[in-house]
A and B are shown apart, each in its own frame.
Chain A
Amino acid sequence: MAGETAADFAPILYMLGFGLVASVPALILSRLVSPRRRYNPVKFLPMECGQMPTGEGRSHFMMQYYAYILMFVVFDVMSIFLYAWGTALFSIPKAATLPIIGFLGIMFAAMGYALFLAGRKGIW
């Protein structure tokens, strides 16, 4: 397999730049042709279904399902790590699959235990 350089990824950056080039004029054009009436301050209040907004917009909010977030941090890395193995599968000996199966077993046991605990204790 041929190696690749950072320059191979340049079209992604160009495309990102083209996205900017295509969307910024739309905003500028909209700003030029659209009306701007600023005499009614109520218009700029945050949306609260027609009521006067109460309290802070950016308040403390309970991040629910905390246990899942902790598990996500571990298993997202695991799933990306499996790609390194999946790509090299044709070029490694068959015996090398056994350690991966063992690794998956350990991870699955841990995940099952975490989900079991989260379910039993009612952790959000």
Chain B
Amino acid sequence: MATYTKNFRFGEFVGSLIWLILWILIIIALVGLPLIFIVLFYVPLPPVNGQVLTPYLFLTMTVDPSRTLPIIKYMIHTDLFRITTFPGFTYAALIAAVTIFIERKFLAKMQLRVGPLYAGKIEGILQLIADGLKLIAKEIIVPSGADKPLFWAAPIAFVAAAAAVVALIPAAPTWVAANVDVGLLAVFAILGFFPLIALLFSWASNSKYPFIGGLRALHQMIAFEIPFILSALSVVILSGTLNLTGIVNSQITSYWFIFFAPISAFVFYISSLAELERIPFDLPEAESEIVAGWLTETSGMIYGLLQLGSYVKTYALAALFVILFLGGWAGPAVMPVELIPGYTGVQIYNHTTADAILWFTLKVFGVIMLMLLPRGISPRIRIDILLHTGWYKLIVLAFINIFVALALIYGGILGPGGLLVR
């Protein structure tokens, strides 16, 4: 119920706005510009057109479009851009946002509903922005007796850990933030943090339902961590490397590994659903049994951050599936060789990279749709059946495919000099 203040006068309102703009300008002039210069002074700037850039030249060049392109090209190839924008955080967050919207519409269509409809003219496309504004404007309630530092730190740690997984995911050739030799093991190492964060948060909430949910998250990890790790082992045997870019390259020189390791792909898919706490493995946040599981005491932006983290994690695991089994960015060339025909200036556009990004994104969305599908068609499974599935069935299935992979290698079909290696 919105109300005006008692003595509302339009002139005073406009006056206050002018004062606000004045203060913002003063702050920009006195603090913002010196800060920009200090940052530019310490950032190593590239030599452009034969002259080394100084902060002053940099600011003048941003006005001239023909001199701006080299700077943009230089900036795109820095680590900062990789971490903040393209294979890094912004790309993952964008895909996470699209995933949330697709999930809501897709589930609604499966259940003969219409889904979000009112925010935005077309099919409720602005629903996510509305939800974000709502979450920011809501009060954060910390329950009495909660461990306050942990309660505030856990959502931040969740987002940060999800971002750290994304850092290892290559989205196109040479486009990866951290190209390490043990990429796959590093992904597993960081994914091991999530159940611990869930348990810490549930312990910090000082409430019964979160505590039960946190313990269930731990059990889920115990049941599905080993099949998860073993299902990727057959891919490592087939490609002979742990580097994610190397795994994709070995699929480009032969065929996609899903043809040689379909059982592993199935086990990996099932256990990544469990890692993501998605239906049918959403026992840690089973809303019909234990209120909302370990998310019971969350409110406002804390809930928003946890959701953001979990969808970024969804992107990371879908991308990992694509890299391990679906050939990463491999695909036919469809993008035009030249974006602007006849242009002979500084080239930013590269058609092989554009193809790679296109195919990678399409495949990731395909896998994400596959991960959203069980939510519409499957009920939640019981916790003893969960442990039974993990320990008795999935581990055995993963091992069957490991022996198939060994047979392929020693039979001379794959591996160095194999029959199917181009």
Contact = CB atoms under 8 A, between A and B. Distances in A.
Interface string B107-133: 000000000000000000000000000
Interface string B148-180: 000010011001111110111000000001111
A49 B209 CA distance: 10
Q: Give the residue among A12, A58, A63 with the most B Cβ atoms within 10 A.
A: A12
Contact of A47 (B179, B241, B242, B296): B296
A113 interface: no
A56 to B, nearest CB: 9
B304 A8 contact: no
Chain A: interface residue count, which band? 35 or more
B82 A61 contact: no
Interface of A: 1-2, 4, 8-20, 22-24, 26-27, 29-31, 33-37, 41, 43-49, 53, 55, 57-59, 61, 63-65, 68-69, 71-72, 75-76, 79-80, 82-83, 86-87, 89-90, 94, 97, 104, 108, 111, 115
Interface of B: 79, 82-84, 88-89, 135-145, 152, 155-156, 159-164, 166-168, 177-181, 184-186, 188, 190, 203, 205-209, 211-212, 215, 219, 222-223, 225-226, 229-230, 233, 236-237, 240-242, 291, 296-297, 300-302, 304-305, 308, 383-384, 387, 391-392, 395, 399, 406, 409-410, 415-416
A5 to B, nearest CB: 10
B159 to A, nearest CB: 4
Contacts of B391: 68, 71, 115
A55 to B, nearest CB: 8
A87 B241 contact: yes
A67 B228 CA distance: 20
A89 B205 contact: no
Contact of B156 (A15, A20, A108): A20
Contact of A30 (B140, B178, B212, B219): B140
Nearest to A35: B139
B164 A19 contact: yes
B305 A49 contact: no
Given A27-B302, A30-B140, A15 B83 contact: yes
Contact of B222 (A8, A68, A82): A68
Given A15-B163, A43-B141, 20 more contacts: A1-B181, A8-B180, A15-B166, A23-B155, A23-B308, A30-B140, A35-B139, A47-B207, A47-B296, A58-B206, A65-B384, A68-B223, A72-B222, A79-B229, A82-B230, A83-B185, A87-B236, A87-B242, A89-B237, A90-B409
